[in-house]
Structure 1
């Protein structure tokens, strides 16, 4: 699904940041509308400053699809994001991931063979209709699995609407790969613990299937960044900053979401803080690069991380200024490196899952 990793020449690592900056900007100018650079919110400042668009994974892929003139889509993010961009853009466009080692631990927790084993066991046990729903933070193969089996994708923004419609139709949901987003969304719709089954991917044979199909089956995956926020961090930040508003991402545990004042997607967090009155104080439970950027872009407010120990997405940080320059230098010379190519059959099934999401979330 991708070609081999292009090593970074030492010259890019050894040159000064100023020289790298000048070369990146010169290449952007030279390639013009043939090039679009996408920057996920969690990228470090040394990279995201070059992005033509900032956003979350699906929004960026959709924006790339609108850039019909662009031959090259350079996605500063992680692997599953570049896959989605490749699936949504035309066959003439080439999607490049500056570092092919930039993966997503949560997406990797749902391997297709394990997912299919789970599905086979569930569908053999229950006559109740089960709809597979995968968070967009998942591989193209898992998205395609959902598409083939009547399911769909979701985002942290539209998960509540999708859950509401499916549960209202008395359908059970198999939710992949983030158990916390799934649990937080299910409980928001009035489900109880007894309505929810946690599927342990490591030991599926130990899962005790109840006689009646659960309303919600959760895959036990998680975001390694959002796992680091704990309830004691909420208590500590309230003591340190009286009057603080605690806002967290729904990939945090239910205990943390319950203890916070607000929870929502990355865009929701950005909107809330941007629209807040001057002088307000915010503690944010999400990736540290975004928290720092929110603090810089809202100097009239106090914005701090909910966990003062740095909560960094290590994989997202693999994309560096030297990685970006190396990829762009090759493109400028007519060489495509680190291209992401999703199989056409996988793409067709995954697009079905994306389209069902868009239809159901209207």
Structure 2
């Protein structure tokens, strides 16, 4: 990725930051009307209500990238999410289309836990220990550079909704998998496929060491990364809710720790959580363990059915960097034929990443 080109972030004028919400909404709606189908605004489920309300499409990271890929009319795709999501959208769209991130500081702490230098060191060390026996798999929540490395080394990309299918396929290709950057999604998925925890090991990118019972025939090597939002749920919270209401059902995201996923009634991707709750009997009471921006919207729609697993959980702070002023500034500038914060992944990185993405789609 061309870092200099990607991180040329223009400064948002203070007038937008000082403006009231109603005026900002009017600016956004006016720009949308002026640009018509040349503008597509995408919003991730974890965005604030104020942003979601003005989006053309809402979904998880892969869904939104696929929507961008299928759209042929939009000249500008404004991605209200985090950096890796906008990168993926850029790689899946046409060269004539431009992907814009309203705030380039909207990153992902988990994606940042794996960089190409660390991965190269890890790969070399693991190849020495297990020559030609490992298939690399990266969660879509990773940088374009990490996706490209995985693609160049014959691996593929995984999402929280297709993880089991992808890992099952991977074991038909190689004896072991190297899963990054989220250890919890890898561990929880592999465990539910019947792989014991004792046959998993953890790669520490800081010490450049593999940790676990290495006398065993390790099948799953996990990168020591995690999502800060999904580490805010505890067994104490689950037990307290069940003591208060013995009929309550718990559903969590697979990025939660293993002990949390094992204590739930159901788990799944963001979309799976929505489907589980919406399809359950009307009198089912659910406590949900994922980003509270999404849970809050679900609770507004189904107040008697939804509770927060952790009402004090901090939502994704980098996702929340995108606010009405950022969105209003971006689209208002576009209406005036001014382009800011364009995400542009270079051709070499794109081609290698697409090899990994295409392999995922062919398995899906």
Q: TM-score, normalized by length of structure 1? A: 0.96
1:54-84: CA deviation from partner (whole Å, max 9, x where unpaired): 0011110110111111000000000000000
What pairs up with 1:313-324 in 2 under 5 angstroms? Answer: 313-324=316-327
Q: Does 1:331 align with 2:353?
A: no
Deviation at 1:309, TM superposition (A): 1.0
Aligned to 2:241: 237
| Structure 1 spans left out of the alignment, 5+ residues | none
Query: Counterparts of 1:182 and 1:120 in 2: how far apart (Å)?
Result: 21
Aligned to 1:73: 77
Task: Specify which of 350, 355, 360 is matched with residue 358 of structure 2.
Answer: 355
| Structure 2 spans left out of the alignment, 5+ residues | none
Query: Counterparts of 1:211 and 1:231 in 2: how far apart (Å)?
Result: 31
1:58-112: CA deviation from partner (whole Å, max 9, x where unpaired): 1101101111110000000000000000000011110000000000000000111
What pairs up with 1:5-84 in 2 under 5 angstroms? Answer: 5-84=9-88
Query: Counterparts of 2:69 and 2:264 in 1: how far apart (Å)?
Result: 36
Deviation at 1:9, TM superposition (A): 1.3
Aligned to 1:157: 161
**Size of the alignment, in residue pairs?**
360
Aligned to 1:172: 176
Q: TM-score, normalized by length of structure 2? A: 0.96
Query: Counterparts of 1:182 and 1:137 in 2: how far apart (Å)?
Result: 13
SS of residue paired to 2:241: helix
Query: Counterparts of 2:298 and 2:363 in 1: how far apart (Å)?
Result: 32
Deviation at 1:208, TM superposition (A): 7.1
Compared CA separation, residues 198 and 260, structure 1 to 2 (3 A) = same
What pairs up with 1:157-306 in 2 under 5 angstroms? Answer: 157-169=161-173, 171-205=175-209, 207=211, 210=214, 214-299=218-303, 301-306=304-309
1:111-165: CA deviation from partner (whole Å, max 9, x where unpaired): 1110110000111222352000000000001111110000000001110011122
Query: Counterparts of 1:157 and 1:296 in 2: how far apart (Å)?
Result: 25
Query: Counterparts of 2:172 and 2:187 in 1: how far apart (Å)?
Result: 17
**Mean CA deviation greater in 290-299 or 331-340:** 290-299
